[in-house]
Structures are given as C-alpha cells and as structure tokens.
Amino acid sequence: MIHQYKNNGYNIVLDVNSGAVHIMDSLGYDLVPLMEQDINIDTDSLFEKTGGIYAKEEIEEAAAEIRELANAGSLYTNDVFEPYIEKFTDNKNAHPIVKALCLHIAHDCNLRCRYCFAEEGEYHGRRALMSFEVGKKAIDFLVANSGNRVNLEVDFFGGEPTMNFSVVKEIVEYGRSIEKEHNKKFRFTLTTNGVLLDHEILEYANKEMHNLVLSIDGRKEVNDRMRPTANGKGSYDIIMPKFKKAAESRNQTNYYVRGTYTHYNRDFSKDVLHLHDQGFEQISVEPVVCDPKEDYALREEDLPFLLEQYDILAKEIIKRRKEGRFINFFHFMIDLEGGPCVAKRLSGCGAGCEYLAVTPWGDIYPCHQFVGEEQFLLGNVDEGIVKPEISREFGACNVYTKEKCKDCFAKFYCSGGCMANSYHAGGNINASYDIGCELQRKRVECSIMIKAAEAE
C-alpha cells in the first residue's frame, strides 16, 4: 500500500506497510503509481503514460531505483501483520497487563471551561475528592497487575488535581516507597489548569513529576472565551505568568502547554504560535471533541480551513527552527527511526487494558473519557476488574477491526485512533470519528514533511 502526496514542495511517498518514507523528484513520484501493478513495465510504456515529458534515459534510471526499493522491501510491500493480529490480541487478553493509570484526584474544578468533557469536573456524577486510601489501593492495583513492566505511569487528573494536592503528595510518596521492593519505576504526570499552581506545588512537581501538562488555549481572547473562572472572568491573566515560570523552571522540557481549539478559533495556528511567542517550546493544541450540537463543535465544513492551518503551522515551525527558535508541536512529533514497534502500532492506545482511569471513589473505567458511562464500569480498586469481558472488548479493538482503518495510510501512526471518540461519534469503539481522522491524516502528512525538510 502506497500513499503519496505533495506538500511544501516535497514529493513524498510512504510505503505504508513497511513504514519506509521516500522523498522523490517529480519523475520518480510520477512513476510510483505506474509501476505498482507491474514493476517490470517497459520504458516506452512509462514514457507514454507520463505524457512524454521526461527523457527515456531518465525514466530508465528512475525506474531502476524504484525496482531497487521494491526489492529491498521498502516499496509496494504487503501487509504481513493482519494474520498475526488475532494471536496478538488473544495473548494480550490472556495475560492482561496494566501499566498506566489516570487518577481522578478531584472531580471538582475551579474553572468553568465550556468544552470540558468532565462537565466542570463532575463527569456525570457528583463532586468528590479522592482519598489517600483510594489512591493507595489504586497504586497497589497497578503494581499487582503490571507483570514484568518496570515503567509505570500515573497521571494526576481531574477536574483539577491541585484542589486535592495533599493527596497527590501522599500517593507519590507511597509509590516511591514501594518502587524498589517491586522493581518498578513510577512516572508521574500532573495535569493542571494553573489557578492554584504556586511556588510550593511547582517545586514539588519539578521534583516528582516526569511530565507537567499545563492547560491553556492560546491567545487571551481565545482562552478566556472557553476557559472562564467560576465568576465568569477570564483565566489567562491568572495562569499565564505561572505557566511561564513553570516552563522555565523545567528548562523547557518535560512539560506541555496544552490547549483545545474549537469552531471559534479555527485559526488555531495563531494560538500555537502565540504560545511559542510567549516563550513556550513544548506545545500541544488539539481539536475539541464534543457533542456536534454544541455551538463550538468542529464541523465538517470547517475541515478545509483546519487542514490549511496545519500546513501554515508546519511551514512556520520549519522556519522558526531554522532561525534557531526551537518549537515542538505535540501532534507533529513523529519518531521515524526510534518509534514504536509494530505490536504497539497495532494495539491502539491501550485504553481498557494497559491504561485505566480511577474515579475519586475507586471505580475503574477504560479511560478518563469513559468515566461516568456506567456500561463501561470495569471494576474498582477493592475488587479489581470485575467485568473482564469489557476489557477484552477493548483489547480486541485494533486497526483491523475498524472498517475505516483498513485502507487508511495513517493506521500505523494513529493505531486506530481514540476509542472514546469512536464510541461517541459512531456508537461503538470500532466505529470511526471522521473529522478526527481527517485531521489526524493531515498531521501525519505534515509531520513527515517536516522530517523531509529537516533531512535536507
């Protein structure tokens, strides 16, 4: 399976099933589809099919190079993984391993973000704070179910976790105290809206948190429209100075400023660049996911404009990096050489199996986005997983069970996408969220183009 596209002056050819990426001149690019069915097609036919615009000697030369790629297994490769997927998922379900937990430290929040899928922290439920006792049981559950995995991830999430920060500290300390005896290494992440982020919390986070996710949407008017405080005022002026301090104190690494873009800031490239102009180097700005009836929801007719925004952003990132102004945009990160193995690429995000969410009172859900959806309640920290059939359903979900993924070139990069988005858009986890898929494909294309530009 081949995917070829032109972007920013580059002719890019992806060999989807091997992961190979080729940058070609116009001639090579034009020959690739013509040689797919018949690799030994003669030069005269190629001359004719390309409209006589290339010299025959050049065609012969380029065709020979394409044959060389095919022989080396980096062009026109077949998908050899599909026959193994059943074995792989069966094995995963027979020996379930949990390696990451999203702890809902507080189902309460001091902001009133309009697009919050947690419904201002309440997640279709009641306001509540996690106790240390529940957090400790969650850590014990993770350790007990993590098999031989050494690296374990725990995300302090909400609502707003700094509203219950003493418990965050107790859980971290408990986790650290048992690392050695179980041969585990905890990587903690704190996701915060910044309102309560003071010197003490930051100092603690810098000592213990592997990653810090700082929520802000970009330009002041954009942020304040969607992220007001409880009394209706904007949050930008409260959080911006704190986030700048946080990013600097972490030497511009191991953190993200993370925003959400909506129908109201379709020109979101300006928000990404605004954050960069404010001094942030690690930036993630994502499309809103919500009920399509919401006024701020992204619509299908927004797509051409949104796709163009990614092109604008990609070009500007190349430019700024060339000028020595480093910027990392989360959704353009792609690790071509050191990226994940095919098993990881096929197994999806891990929700419901490797990755679980725990509510303040200890209920376990497949991920943070399913919290409060009672039909997905998997178990609790006292009894563990009591409905393994739900877990198995998530474990079996992969790019081959999703009809729309089968022929998609991006399947090995997004791994089938977000199961919560699939469920909310199409009624089941094997459906697809078409707007999200379109945006994902564009991001993959842009991120590979950036690699091509930087390889020059």
By C-beta, is 92 or 219 nearer to other proteins? 92
By C-beta, is 122 or 131 nearer to other proteins? 122
Q: How far apart are CA 207 and CA 215, in angstroms?
A: 20
Q: What is the Rg, in whole angstroms, of the alpha carbon atoms belonging to the chain?
A: 24
Find the binder of other proteins among 261, 310, 412, 423 (CB under 8 A): 412
By C-beta, is 114 or 345 nearer to other proteins? 345
Find the binder of other proteins among 1, 3, 4, 19 (CB under 8 A): 19
By C-beta, is 269 or 284 nearer to other proteins? 284
- 444 belongs to the binding site for other proteins (CB under 8 A): yes
Q: How far apart are CA 5 and CA 12, in angstroms?
A: 5
By C-beta, is 131 or 286 nearer to other proteins? 286
By C-beta, is 131 or 263 nearer to other proteins? 263
Q: How far apart are CA 13 and CA 46, in angstroms?
A: 18
- 124 belongs to the binding site for other proteins (CB under 8 A): no
Find the binder of other proteins among 339, 386, 406, 428 (CB under 8 A): 339
Q: 155-184: which residues touch other proteins (CB under 8 A)?
A: 155
**Bridge partner residues of 214 (DSSP):** 192, 257
CA angle at residue 36 from 33 to 405, to 5 degrees?
80
Find the binder of other proteins among 36, 297, 334, 387 (CB under 8 A): 334
- 100 belongs to the binding site for other proteins (CB under 8 A): yes
Stretch that binds other proteins, among 68-76, 122-130, 216-224, 316-324 (CB under 8 A): 68-76
- The number of residues that bind other proteins (CB under 8 A) is 88
CB of 269 to other proteins, least distance (A): 17
Question: Which amino acid belongs to residue 313?
Answer: L
Query: How does DSSP classify residue 107?
Result: E
Answer yes or no: are the C-beta atoms of 62 and 31 closer than 8 Å: yes
Q: 370-399: which residues touch other proteins (CB under 8 A)?
A: none
- 53 belongs to the binding site for other proteins (CB under 8 A): no
DSSP string covering 288-356: ----TTSTTS--GGGHHHHHHHHHHHHHHHHHHHHTT---EEGGG---TTT---HHHHHSTT-BTTTEE
Q: How far apart are CA 121 and CA 126, in angstroms?
A: 9
- 190 belongs to the binding site for other proteins (CB under 8 A): no
- What is the token pair recorded at 26? 């116009």
Question: Which amino acid belongs to residue 61?
Answer: E
- 366 belongs to the binding site for other proteins (CB under 8 A): no
- 85 belongs to the binding site for other proteins (CB under 8 A): no
By C-beta, is 131 or 342 nearer to other proteins? 342
- 438 belongs to the binding site for other proteins (CB under 8 A): no
Find the binder of other proteins among 17, 164, 269, 430 (CB under 8 A): 17
- 22 belongs to the binding site for other proteins (CB under 8 A): yes
Q: 210-269: which residues touch other proteins (CB under 8 A)?
A: 211, 213, 256, 258, 260
DSSP string covering 175-200: HHHHHHHHT-EEEEEEEE-STT--HH
Find the binder of other proteins among 8, 43, 74, 131 (CB under 8 A): 74
CA atoms within 13 A on the CB side of 254: 14
Would you give the distance in Å from CA 271 to the centre of its chain? 19
